[in-house]
Amino acid sequence: MGLSVQNIIDESNELLVKTYGLQPVIMDHAKGMYCYDSEGKEYLDFAAGIAVASLGHAHPKVLETLNKQAAHLMTCQASYVTETKYKAAKSLVEASCFDQVFFCNSGSESTEAALKCARKWAYDNKGKDCNHIIAFRDSFHGRTYGAASVTEKRLSQPFFDPYIPNVDFAEYNNIESVKALINDKTAAVIIEPIQGESGVIPSDPAFMKELRALCDAHHVCLIFDEVQTGLGRIGSLFAYQSYGVEPDLVAWAKGIGAGYPVGVMGAKKEFGDALQPGMHGTTFGGNPLASAMVLCTFEEISKDSFLENIRHVSSILFDGLERIAKDTGAITDLRGRGLMIGIDTVFDTKKLFRALQKNGFMGTLAGKATLRLVPPLILQEDDARKGLEIIEKTLREME
């Protein structure tokens, strides 16, 4: 007789370093918008592995790409050019405001590359002591030391000290707080167009334009962290396009590989040229299989019809959630853009998360009390409405 679900969870809790609290079910397989646990229960997926499964699960083109490229060439040294890396890079550059890309494996790595690139650029162009970085309160940029150093959580995790020095935190959407910190030693400002982990907090477009102007005036590199918001998530191909502001460097990851681990740093030429052979690198980044996945994902999401559908189903979700808020009184705040939505309710969010799970719905938690919805970008109207029905049903049951 095999182990029970609870046995496997209990033993996993002993075998795995406890970086996450384990869920009470075991995920077994998935297709399209739906995941299924080991006992066959179906869940409508509005989490997508935290904005990762951009094309849903077992997408035919994803499976075709994985099988075809894995049989052809999976990996080789990064110093070799491959056709898949060339095509993936060319597609991203031609569609964006950037001139160069650096492929890596995760959001943290793309953030690390951007920070190193910005500081090298500042060293060359502003002076060897120009290494000051401005980030924002409630930010989240990753778990590695550079990324963690520009994440405000560092202030509550002194056990990881020392972080990289000369980092200050401004108030999000407050240009005066940035002006108070920026100086002639500032190398870069890093910002999320929408703060994800803090509870889905959108930036003010006017603030973003002021921030760009301020960086220009002080000759400072502006870095956008689009790890959650890039490649279609908020309704535009790249998040910066929704704000009419071009950053100098950008970090992409999560959905850009449709489930395959990929990170990308995009760079304007002036900034990308700061890094030369031997200064940075990666063993796995941009391998042929990863590059093929980027190309496959990009070709699907960049279609006008695909982006239009994201905006369409987004309006259905926001309209439906506003109606639910009015009818039930249970939703206290609703934020976000595209298919990145934050919901605050009168209920304990962890209890709401469990209740939704019981009703066959997967969301994620963000911030102190926010239910975050980041479904696969293949979401269609029928499943959007089904998601709304489950949310309303759950909220009414919790009353």
Q: Which domains does the chain have, with CATH numbers?
A: 5-58+304-398 (3.90.1150.10), 73-301 (3.40.640.10)
Q: What Å distances lie between residue 264 and 104, 246, 290, 304, CA to CA?
A: 6, 17, 11, 22
pLDDT at 14 > cutoff 80: yes
For 120-128, what is the mean pLDDT?
Answer: 98
Token output for 134: 């401005």
For 342-348, what is the mean pLDDT?
Answer: 97
Name every residue whose Cβ is closer than 8 Å to that of residue 110 and which is 6 or more positions away in sequence: 102, 104, 227, 251, 252, 253, 263, 264, 265
Token output for 125: 């162009």
Specify whether the CB–CB gap between 188 and 220 falls below 8 A. yes
Q: Tally helices (H) and strands (E) across the chain.
A: 13, 17
The percentage of the chain sitting over the pLDDT mark of 70, rounded to a whole number, equals 100
Specify whether the CB–CB gap between 338 and 363 falls below 8 A. no
What pTM does this model have?
A: 0.97
Specify whether the CB–CB gap between 13 and 1 falls below 8 A. no
Report residue 26: phi and psi, to 5°. Answer: -115, 120
pLDDT at residue 399 in the model: 84
For 45-50, what is the mean pLDDT?
Answer: 98
* Confidence band for 85, pLDDT divided at 50, 70 and 90: very high
d(CA 87, CA 258): 17
pLDDT at 23 > cutoff 80: yes
For residue 364, which of 329, 340, 383, 393 has the smallest C-alpha distance? 340
For residue 254, which of 117, 120, 140 has the smallest C-alpha distance? 140
For 155-175, what is the mean pLDDT?
Answer: 97
Residue 1 identity? M
pLDDT at 318 > cutoff 60: yes
d(CA 399, CA 385): 21
At 262-313, the pLDDT tens digits run 999 999 999 999 999 999 999 999 999 999 999 999 999 999 999 999 999 9
Does residue 366 sit in helix, strand or coil? strand
Q: What Å distances lie between residue 13 and 2, 5, 29, CA to CA?
A: 18, 12, 21
For residue 88, which of 273, 231, 247 has the smallest C-alpha distance? 231
The percentage of the chain sitting over the pLDDT mark of 90, rounded to a whole number, equals 99
Is the bond into 376 cis (omega within 30 degrees of 0)?
A: no
Across the chain, what does the average pLDDT equal? 97
Kindly calculate the radius of gyration of the chain based on its CA atoms and give it in whole angstroms. Answer: 21
pLDDT at residue 1 in the model: 43
Token output for 395: 């909220």
